[in-house]
Structure 1
Amino acid sequence: MIPLSILDLAPVCEGSDASQAFAHTLDLARHAERLGYTRYWLAEHHNMPGIASAATAVLIGHVAGGTETIRVGSGGVMLPNHAPLQVAEQFGTLASLYPGRIDLGLGRAPGTDQATARALRRYHDSADAFPQDVQELLYYFEPAEPGQPVRAVPGAGVDVPVWLLGSSLFGARLAARLGLPYAFASHFAPDALDHALALYRREFTPSRRLARPYAMLGVNVVAAPSETEARRLFTTLQQSFVNLRRGRPGLIPPPIDDIEAYWTPAERIGVEQALACSVVGDPDQVRDGLAAFVERHRPDELMLTANVYDHAARKRSFEIAMASRPG
């Protein structure tokens, strides 16, 4: 059966705070481990009131320390915000603490607004230097050579699988050229999915890290005992996307009964386009929707995300999704 993994942003819901979000993240990771999910990734975002995973490496350590077998990683670390050496040291430390369980997914977007990006970035053109920064980071994970002036300690010689994340042809081409696994952000930016996936598979060059292309695709999945309940739970994510497009990101809102009264027709079109790779419904609908997605795109793995307001309902959604996964 196709491996399933989870992407979490440590959502901070209305009426809650970051401490509660972190408790929910660890509880969900333990639940995912019991259910048989392959990996649990956390995403770097900044200056977002509803997302508590800004200090991504710290939170990965918290989750890895509270679980036993599930892989834990970043989906991703936004490399332009960091010095490659520091990232190598952080993930070398994590992989030394939790051998065989740490993944490092890298993105080149800032994960925030322009003002915060300026506050974070090491230099103005850091996103343009992304390919060079990735190669520098990979170098720090190689065994240290005699006389090497700068090394990652810990990090050098430590096994840390590195993934490239993307939503365009740029990331697909770079992952193919470097021979790295590729995760496509189809859960919020699906437009280039088919072209990026085809390019990655066509141009892939085997490397010491990976012999054949390996693609993981993001999918929003909101599952509930009934379609009506699932559709209502999904309005939390729809509202969040509307709020972001209005320039008013906030805490994660509770679901509402009538999403049509919340958005304008133009907003509806934009949000539905962004969330086109979503499977929402009862167990049978989720099973059919995931099967159709896998049949069309042939991913090696699926990374599911579910921005559900109620923690118990979110856990139940991932439980239903695992029970409904395609063969």
Structure 2
Amino acid sequence: MPPVPLSVLDLVPISSGSDASTALRNTVELARAAEEFGYRRYWLAEHHLHPGVAGSAPALVIQAVAQATREIRVGSGAVLLGHQTPLSVVEQFGILDALYPGRIDLGIGRSGRPRGTPPTAPAPERGDAEQDGSGRAGTFTDEGLYLPPQFTGFARLLQSPRFRLQLSLLQQPGAQTPAYDEQIDDILALFAGTYRDEDGAEARATPGDGADVDVWILGSSAGESAEVAGARGLPFGANYHVSPGTVVEAVEAYRAAFRPSAVLSEPYVSVSADVVVAPDDETARRLAAGYAPWVRSIRSAEGAIEFPTPEEADRHEWTDEDRELVADRVDTQFVGAPETVTERLTVLQQATGADELLITTITHDHADRLRSYELLAQAWFKQA
């Protein structure tokens, strides 16, 4: 049986000693290489106010990647709806489809402050439910996939000064994010040319109306994102690399909610994973050394740092609190020789029933990152 397809999720990381311009050029080069290696899609993430991430405007980076490639699908992983309106999203991706027809994916994620939520409170139901903080050990699925204890710090992140500043800079004063399901319905109606407001007034997005864009919903657990994706018959992206402890329940919730649509007759799931591949396990572990301090910078609400060299990572002074902060992410990163990583990714695919896997790889040196994607593709597709 052929292996499921592989795709790429690129955060456009900035390495220490480098800059955003170099990171963006590296993204274009990696996208060209990924197409040659056989990856199905190339998705760009949206992040703001992170010193070490240059992918703040997915639509712009998608245009650069689509222009530099020929056939690979290019899209967002994900556009965050709390930062813009459904119409602005449809118009942006309508333009992309007009320029690169039949190649554009719109991955959508939740963000921002839902309607009626006080400015200092965490956004409810983000797919990241709090747990009891007992430090209990994780579990394993029957297939052997490790599910660590769920990370409990998202509420603290949402209450941080950096997150509040992000909201104030990305939303107009007094703006309220509408209900997520309503936003998704508006996007689908604008693409279909069927949008009507409550008074019956029509709206036509130009470009956008009738665009051949594949709409995806991305989510981290058995919350609203999974339910919305399933109920509308849309493909779903589950985030093992963001919230590994909840990936199985997210996929199960999506499948339970799924209803056939004009888009899909049965559920379709992509599952993400953090991966570093090198010729041998020891080299891969060395290349991945910067991952833990990089994750710590995100989880501590400082914002992603420029990705450190292994030597810089060695100099990081760790506290027990730091180690606990990053444990779930570090323990579920797929690091090693091609055969090592392929075996572990196969377990992830079997445990989740993923129809494809979305691979995100960050190393300090761009050449090592390119080589990681190449080695993985060679080993993975050799199984066919």
In the superposition, the TM-score normalised over structure 2's length comes to: 0.80
Other-structure match for 2:141: none
Other-structure match for 1:125: 176
Q: 1:258 to 1:135 in 2, by over 3 A?
A: closer
Q: Distance in 2 between matches of 1:207 and 1:220?
A: 31
2:361 to 306, 322, 325: 306
The one-character-per-residue Cα deviations of 1:115-166 (angstroms, maximum 9, x if unpaired) are 112221255431x522111110111000368996321101101111100011
Q: Does 1:321 align with 2:355?
A: no
2:99 to 94, 97, 102: 97
Other-structure match for 2:237: 183
In the TM superposition, what is the alpha-carbon distance from 1:63 to its structure 2 partner? 0.5
Other-structure match for 2:19: 17
Q: Report matched runs for 1:192-231 at 5 Å.
A: 192-231=246-285
The one-character-per-residue Cα deviations of 1:188-208 (angstroms, maximum 9, x if unpaired) are 211211111111112201111
Q: Distance in 2 between matches of 1:119 and 1:257?
A: 32
The aligned amino acid for 1:246 is: S
In the TM superposition, what is the alpha-carbon distance from 1:96 to its structure 2 partner? 1.0
Q: Distance in 2 between matches of 1:212 and 1:9?
A: 30
In the TM superposition, what is the alpha-carbon distance from 1:252 to its structure 2 partner? 1.7
Q: Percent identity?
A: 40
In the TM superposition, what is the alpha-carbon distance from 1:277 to its structure 2 partner? 3.4
Q: 1:290 to 1:214 in 2, by over 3 A?
A: same
Aligned residue for 1:14, secondary structure, equals coil
Q: 1:228 to 1:145 in 2, by over 3 A?
A: closer
8 Å CA contact retained: 2:290, 2:363:
yes
Aligned residue for 1:29, secondary structure, equals helix
Q: 1:210 to 1:274 in 2, by over 3 A?
A: same
8 Å CA contact retained: 2:80, 2:109:
yes
Q: Distance in 2 between matches of 1:13 and 1:257?
A: 11
| Structure 2 gaps, min length 5 | 113-157
Aligned residue for 2:46, secondary structure, equals coil
The aligned amino acid for 2:176 is: D
Q: Distance in 1 between matches of 2:233 and 2:24?
A: 34
Q: Report matched runs for 1:143-158 at 5 Å.
A: 143=193, 149-158=202-211
RMSD of aligned alpha carbons: 2.1
Name which of structure 1's ranges 284-293 and 253-262 shifts more when overlaid on structure 2: 253-262
Aligned residue for 1:41, secondary structure, equals strand
Q: Does 1:167 align with 2:220?
A: yes
In the superposition, the TM-score normalised over structure 1's length comes to: 0.94
Aligned residue for 1:113, secondary structure, equals helix
Q: Does 1:287 align with 2:342?
A: yes
The aligned amino acid for 2:63 is: G
Q: Does 1:61 align with 2:112?
A: no
| Structure 1 gaps, min length 5 | none
Q: Report matched runs for 1:42-53 at 5 Å.
A: 42-53=44-55
Other-structure match for 2:43: 41
